[in-house]
Structure 1
Amino acid sequence: SPLTIRKIPSPHTAIITAQGERRNPLLKHGLVAATGAASALGRIAALLDERREPTPLQRRLAALGRVLAAVTLALCVLVFALGLVRGLPLGTMAVTAISLAVAAVPESLPAVVTLALALGARRMAARHALVRRLPAVETLGSVSVLATDKTGTLTEGRMVVQHVWTPRVTAELSGVGYEPDGEALVAGRPAEADELEPLTELLTVTALCNDATLRPADDRRPDDRWTALGDPMEAALLAAAAKTRCPGPAELAATRPRIGEAPFDSLRRRMTTLHRTGGDGVLVCMKGAPEAVLDPAVLLDPPDALAAARREAARLAARGYRVLAVASGARNDIPSPVTTAESGLALLGLVALSDPPKPHAAATLASCRAAGITPVLITGDHPATARAVASHIGLLGDDETEGRVVTGADVAAGRVADLTSVRVFARTDPQQKLDIVEAWRARGAVTAMTGDGVNDGPALRRADIGVAMGARGTEVARQAADLVLTDDEPSTVVAAVEEGRRVYDNIRRFLVYGMAGGAAEILVMLIGPLLGLPLPLRAGQILWINLLTHGLTGVAMGAEPAPPGAMHRPPRPPDQHIIGGGAWQRLLLLAAVVTAASLGAGLAAQALDLAWQSVLFLALLSAQLGVALGLRSRLLTKENPFLPLSVLASALLAAAALYVPFLNPILETEPLGWAGAGIALACAPAGFVAARVVRTAFHPGDPAGTGGSSGLR
């Protein structure tokens, strides 16, 4: 229908009129109370920070790059100066120093990181987790706090009305899902006509104050079920109304058309609609949180009736139900705005909806704790409901600190000194979710936030990893998130964390391997002349070694599988250096072993009057390939056949450098006999054994062999 917007004096107000196409035009008026940044969605949008901060991996690699560049430059200048002092040609030493700089810096690191992240994203997609930002793959491995929503994340998200309380009668509703099959039971028997009347009145109001619809099952598909279009809670109210013989949605729309609405939001916590009842009569329908409806400013009921309703609401919430209070009233005018009609109403009763926890929710949280990840529940539900669900899935601790439930009102009033000491938050708004995430980040934690609604958008964007529900989540949540779960299962987050840890372990493993090899090459060039080897390696030989070790083999290391105990160790501290936690000790020890083995082979060849430079070249390359295999966490795994194949290919290319005639003058190598080749190849087992030893030499409890760490608990 064509729309016309007519301006009125208020700067944020307009009248929208719609002209119908019927013969008797129906004029509809809508009041726009706020636009842009002043609207509810605008306030949420203002909390969405568009700036993307570097991930922990990006920060660590940047710091490593600065240190590595300075150290490499200093050592290469030293090698260059020592060569000149020994009387070697300026050109030769310049090329050698540059070649050393290339060898010392693991230039294939970007390829290794990209491959590891891409493979991680591919594996996550196979496990129902879609990555929207590639660097987020690694960040998942650093997560130490998982802040999660309740409805649809830890619970099924398929609500059903099980209990209805009115001042006159209390009933249980039978039936499951959204099927309108069931009946009202009073004291275990079907409700009689006089008992059904207040139930029907209450549920009719919930059907009117409702924006959901139910899609019937397809009779042609035996396994098809009724499904909800819209909010699951409102769909459950429609199903409950059908069970108590309330008029259907089509009949209600015809006899009591909606003429006004004050929608639900996280601040008001209630929804109000106006309906024409014939003539000038207007029916006011309201549903919402008990504390927002059971208010003397809203209801005309006597104080003792409101107190009884509050006690019943608290009792139902403590049993894990999600509780709504329902009220209605009649008027002879159309109030403007609709919120002015939210007074002088009569309480109809309470509706209790169940949303059972998912079968694997408790096991998922237990897996989080085993991995050193702290789970935190942040929900908009009643504190008693949050407590019941949290207790059921094992989230609440036994001590006074971890066993308490804090409300958004407590946070707003400043009654919580440390937000990171609380594990369950209830009745929170978008700003408070943001505050909770910020509090954990200020403590140094790497946070993951799950959510599905528009209100979750700011917290999803601000968290280190935002995780959105793909099946039932809003587009705002998906756009703000880094990871989208296509199955809406929290266990998928744990699987994604495991993939993130695998990626980080592989990157650290490559750095230990690559930098140990580069350091060994520099040490050979520094120490060799002191032992009587004038110029241990030629520039071409250094580059050939670097190509085979950092190139083929190094990139293949990025595809290594996760170690067996990846999810049974705490997350690494966010301020830990990428080669911290024992990695640098491994690096230096491996560099020392490779250097000693290579120089030993070169000196032995020199003593036997063999082509010692070619022996040293092959020995250095063999020792590094042995290290590559020795650093594997699963030695005989079939999950990554590329690593042994790349080692084999590198070995063949190393042989080609010695035995292919046209390569000899380019690389300045000589073919070796059995004695020289045997001396050089003996360095491969030395590198392998050294790598197996250093995997447990530091932090023996670290199954990845890359350095253990302790994170937040």
Structure 2
Amino acid sequence: MGTDPDEGLGGAAVADRAVADADRPSPGLDRSLAASVLAQLRETMILVLLGAAALSVAVGDAGDAAVIVLVVVLNTTVGVAQERRATGAVAALRARAAPRATVVRDGHRHEVPAAEVVVGDLLVLGRGDVVAADARLLTAHDLQVDESALTGESQPSDRRAGPACAEDTPVADRSTVVHAGTLVVRGHGRAVVTAVGLRTELGTVDVLLQRRRPPPTPLQRRLARLGRAISLGVVVACVLVGVTGLVRGEPWPLVVLTALSLAVAAIPESLPAVVALALAGATRRMARLGVIVRTLPAVEALGSVTVLAVDKTGTLTTGRITCTAVWHPGTGTTELTGPLPAGPARSVLEAAVLGGDAEEGTPGTEGAVARAAARAGLDLRAVRARRPRTAVRPFDAHRRCTVSRHDGPDGPLEVVVGAPEIVLPGRADAAAVVDAWARAGARVLAVRAGPQETGLLRLDDPVRDDAAAAVGAARTAGVRTMMITGDHPATAAAVAAAVGLDTGERDGLPAVHARADPGTKLALVESLRAAGEIVAMTGDGVNDAPALRVADVGVAMGERGTEVAKEAADVVLGDDGLGRIVAAVAEGRRVADNVRRFVRYGLAGGLAELLVMVAGPFLALGLPLLPAQILWVNLVTHGLPGVAMGSEAAEADVLSRPPQPPRQGILTRRTVVETAVLGVVVAGCSLVVATTAAATGRPWQTMLFVTLALSQLGLALTTRSDSTPLWRLPVRSNPFLYVAAATSVLATFAVVYLPGAGLLFHTVALGPAELAIAVGAAAVPSVLVEAEELRRSRRRAHPGQDQSRTSGASSPVSSA
């Protein structure tokens, strides 16, 4: 390979080999632009429209055919743009959360994206790493890897340094090789890369498998079920419209086109695309908050979270651990404020240094000990050189200690570093110190060097400044915070008190769990979910991965989390703080609110169009709207405004109300009533305009067309909030909605007033009085909604009033 086992590859060699390895798969869009266009054209509603266009051409109606083709082109363009934007956002976010690898190049360690590792690179492997490429081990110390992704073997496999295995050796038996995509669960080592990309064992499997499209999110599945239910009602209504038209003697091609156009307009076929775009937009906003979402369903689940199960270190505390004191049974407590003279306290620090590999810049507990030893005047390399390590048993969550053996001038020495009750069992004097330090919120590390030399190290990890506020915000939002930690119970209790955790029990489970091992975490998550809770679980280590997978939302720590934890998680935090999770919960609720509003708005508009077409003939209106007019109303009301609704800012009370019940659907009973009332009001106003205009000899069909379109666009604006009137909401919080509504209004007027548009859409230019009637009637639904929102706003401002109404059903008129 031409790789120096100490220096690694040089910069020039890396550049040359990167070109040779350029065949590896690259992240990006899943399909080409042409494939996206074809996928849009294969949608059921688009095929229906194309069939309707062909029928128009067949009967000689070129005008309707042109309008239908125009609608198809615009719908396809919007759909493709939404898909490319959403897919691109998700791909970018996944790239940010992609695994990284540590390599040695030119004698220095570098952390690089796993995709940039080249053949011949010297990999540095440690517990919690995802192996970036196939590689042969040069050194291995108690190294075990989880190869279940390749072999299906659930138990970790031991690995050792040695020569390359024969090519026909089964993957599970290649004891000197590590493979891309496998997980280091114990020990550490170095390995030289032998294959990357498609040439790895994992790459070979990827080539053999057909790439599958990601499954729809739970929300999209609920929307699909909703669409199917609506479709049944629409089919019945369209058959009724068709039969009525034929009975009245309308030409059959016109009747068929009208029925097909009505079906397309009434079925909310654009909802899945709007939802996907809303979710992708949420992931971008979360990324700006330092929250990387790896799977779109996590956005939905975050909005429904009822329990946050968090680790103490780095989430409630800063994670910047400092070793501040040493205790020795002979000398008592010694504060670490500067250099230490030779003596028992210095000997305890020396033993702790021997038990680890950390340098001064290493994060975590070992790094804190190394920095304290350096401040005390110890030369870390010299200490380890005097007693070279001959064997090591790394820290294990079950053993809770590290055991190492060393040679030295006075014979072999065994050093044990770990939990006090494991390292120094039965020592009453040590137990008293541990209890005192733990009650002060400190962590305690015990050290034993040989049969005599013992001591304790105090490790302080201050509570984060924002932790108490985040716990309080979660409580206000109806989300319970639970702390799960491997630390001493007294330490956990002190931190819980400092951040204001509720320490009582719920569902038989306390809020604080100390000395928790991976099995405890997994059992706790399963118990919470069995009790009906929606659980967000944080983790950073290899052993946290099972609990992260089982939780409804697995949250990995971005700063100190292992690659294993990040791969198992749905969400990766940038700065590990609890406040980020609470902000993500608010974002999830925002998405759920916006989707629900759009569903209500779209269904109310579709219902209004159906009612107009069904009731119109019984009011002597003949065929109320022609196919081109129906399709245009659908396009201007559900196109740009629908996309803009997904960007609406969160309600002021988004974190002051309980989460949505997990099993509650999009359409609650109240939402169904509101949708029905709004559909009836819009249809009623439109039909009143049409019948009045017909009776007075005015262009009733064009007035009906304008009223129906503008009334729905008015509702699009009032949908900005469920409880705050429109005039109290700042335009700057969602300017795109106003731009979208204005564009749609202009598009509606265009088909009425532009020269030649009347021939395509069968409209006539309205006079000032006729336009004023249509606009005035279209404003009625929005005025009613605003009045109801004002009433709700005043009721919230004076909760002591109107008690009889607050205890009963609310008014069915609300923002659509």
TM-score range, shorter chain: 0.7 to 0.9
Aligned: 1:315 with 2:436: yes
Instruction: Name the counterpart of 1:67.
Output: 229
1:213 to 330, 341, 359: 359
2:634, 2:237 → 1: CA distance?
17
Instruction: Name the counterpart of 2:16.
Output: none
Opposite residue 441 of structure 1, the aligned amino acid is: R
Residue pair 1:276, 1:282 contacting (<8 A) in 2 also: yes
Deviating more after overlay: 161-170 vs 58-67:
58-67
Aligned: 1:142 with 2:301: no
Aligned: 1:287 with 2:417: yes
Shift of 1:492: 1.4
Aligned: 1:562 with 2:692: no
Once the two structures are superposed, the pairs formed by residues 673-684 of structure 1 within 5 Å of their partners are 673-684=767-778
1:454 to 525, 530, 542: 542
2:394, 2:572 → 1: CA distance?
28
2:784 to 674, 679, 690: 690
Question: Partner of 2:449: helix, strand, or coil?
Answer: strand
Instruction: Name the counterpart of 1:386.
Output: 492
1:52, 1:658 → 2: CA distance?
43
Shift of 1:130: 1.9
Instruction: Name the counterpart of 1:199.
Output: 345
Once the two structures are superposed, the pairs formed by residues 504-653 of structure 1 within 5 Å of their partners are 504-580=592-668, 582-633=670-721, 635-653=729-747
Instruction: Name the counterpart of 1:242.
Output: 374
- Root-mean-square deviation (CA, aligned residues, Å) is 3.2
Aligned: 1:656 with 2:750: yes
Shift of 1:59: 4.1
Residue pair 1:173, 1:240 contacting (<8 A) in 2 also: no
Once the two structures are superposed, the pairs formed by residues 64-463 of structure 1 within 5 Å of their partners are 64-175=226-337, 182=338, 197-214=343-360, 228-230=361-363, 232-245=364-377, 247-278=378-409, 281-295=411-425, 306-329=427-450, 345-346=451-452, 348-397=454-503, 399=504, 401=505, 418=507, 421-463=509-551
1:592-650, Cα deviation, whole Å (9 max, x unpaired): 11011101110111111111111111111111111111222263321221111111111
1:255-280, Cα deviation, whole Å (9 max, x unpaired): 1101100110101001011111137x
Shift of 1:697: 7.9
Instruction: Name the counterpart of 2:132.
Output: none
Opposite residue 686 of structure 1, the aligned amino acid is: V
2:241, 2:335 → 1: CA distance?
85
1:286-313, Cα deviation, whole Å (9 max, x unpaired): 0111222233xxxxxxx5xx23322332
2:587, 2:345 → 1: CA distance?
51
Structure 2 vs 1, CA of residues 51 and 473 (structure 1 numbering), >3 Å: closer, same or farther? Answer: farther
Question: Partner of 1:229: helix, strand, or coil?
Answer: coil
Residue pair 2:220, 2:272 contacting (<8 A) in 1 also: no
1:277, 1:81 → 2: CA distance?
99
1:516-540, Cα deviation, whole Å (9 max, x unpaired): 0000000111112222212111111
- TM-score (normalizing by structure 2): 0.69
Shift of 1:115: 2.6
Unaligned runs of 5+ in 1: 6-10, 20-31, 43-49, 176-181, 185-192, 215-227, 296-302, 330-344, 403-417, 709-713
2:183, 2:600 → 1: CA distance?
53
Shift of 1:380: 1.3
1:277, 1:642 → 2: CA distance?
73
Shift of 1:693: 4.1
Shift of 1:16: 4.5
Residue pair 1:615, 1:680 contacting (<8 A) in 2 also: yes
Residue pair 1:143, 1:448 contacting (<8 A) in 2 also: yes
Opposite residue 61 of structure 1, the aligned amino acid is: L
1:14, 1:623 → 2: CA distance?
70
Structure 2 vs 1, CA of residues 90 and 698 (structure 1 numbering), >3 Å: closer, same or farther? Answer: farther
Structure 2 vs 1, CA of residues 552 and 422 (structure 1 numbering), >3 Å: closer, same or farther? Answer: same
Instruction: Name the counterpart of 2:580.
Output: 492
Question: Partner of 2:349: helix, strand, or coil?
Answer: helix
Shift of 1:3: 4.8
Shift of 1:581: 6.0
Structure 2 vs 1, CA of residues 13 and 154 (structure 1 numbering), >3 Å: closer, same or farther? Answer: closer
Residue pair 2:183, 2:564 contacting (<8 A) in 1 also: no
Question: Partner of 1:582: helix, strand, or coil?
Answer: helix
Opposite residue 483 of structure 2, the aligned amino acid is: L
2:470, 2:768 → 1: CA distance?
58
1:51, 1:319 → 2: CA distance?
52
1:664, 1:51 → 2: CA distance?
44
Shift of 1:673: 1.8
2:750, 2:434 → 1: CA distance?
81
Structure 2 vs 1, CA of residues 583 and 143 (structure 1 numbering), >3 Å: closer, same or farther? Answer: same
Structure 2 vs 1, CA of residues 355 and 614 (structure 1 numbering), >3 Å: closer, same or farther? Answer: same
Structure 2 vs 1, CA of residues 16 and 673 (structure 1 numbering), >3 Å: closer, same or farther? Answer: closer
Opposite residue 540 of structure 1, the aligned amino acid is: A
Instruction: Name the counterpart of 1:409.
Output: none
Instruction: Name the counterpart of 1:179.
Output: none
Structure 2 vs 1, CA of residues 38 and 647 (structure 1 numbering), >3 Å: closer, same or farther? Answer: closer
Structure 2 vs 1, CA of residues 391 and 592 (structure 1 numbering), >3 Å: closer, same or farther? Answer: same
Residue pair 2:525, 2:547 contacting (<8 A) in 1 also: yes
> Identity of paired residues, percent?
46
Residue pair 1:173, 1:183 contacting (<8 A) in 2 also: no
Structure 2 vs 1, CA of residues 252 and 51 (structure 1 numbering), >3 Å: closer, same or farther? Answer: farther
Residue pair 2:280, 2:296 contacting (<8 A) in 1 also: yes
Instruction: Name the counterpart of 2:185.
Output: 41
- How many pairs are equivalent? 607
Shift of 1:455: 1.8
Aligned: 1:668 with 2:774: no
Instruction: Name the counterpart of 2:46.
Output: none
Residue pair 1:468, 1:478 contacting (<8 A) in 2 also: yes
Residue pair 2:156, 2:185 contacting (<8 A) in 1 also: no
Shift of 1:468: 1.6
1:512-567, Cα deviation, whole Å (9 max, x unpaired): 11110000000111112222212111111110100000012221211111122211
Question: Partner of 2:417: helix, strand, or coil?
Answer: strand
2:343, 2:330 → 1: CA distance?
10
1:104-151, Cα deviation, whole Å (9 max, x unpaired): 122222332233222222222222122222342333222221111111
Structure 2 vs 1, CA of residues 13 and 360 (structure 1 numbering), >3 Å: closer, same or farther? Answer: closer
Unaligned runs of 5+ in 2: 6-136, 141-154, 164-174, 187-211, 798-809, 812-816
1:40, 1:556 → 2: CA distance?
45
Question: Partner of 2:576: helix, strand, or coil?
Answer: coil
1:694, 1:233 → 2: CA distance?
58
Structure 2 vs 1, CA of residues 51 and 478 (structure 1 numbering), >3 Å: closer, same or farther? Answer: farther
Structure 2 vs 1, CA of residues 38 and 229 (structure 1 numbering), >3 Å: closer, same or farther? Answer: closer
Question: Partner of 2:319: helix, strand, or coil?
Answer: coil
Shift of 1:80: 2.5
> Which has the bigger relative contact order, CA under 8 A and spacing at least 6?
1
Structure 2 vs 1, CA of residues 581 and 370 (structure 1 numbering), >3 Å: closer, same or farther? Answer: farther
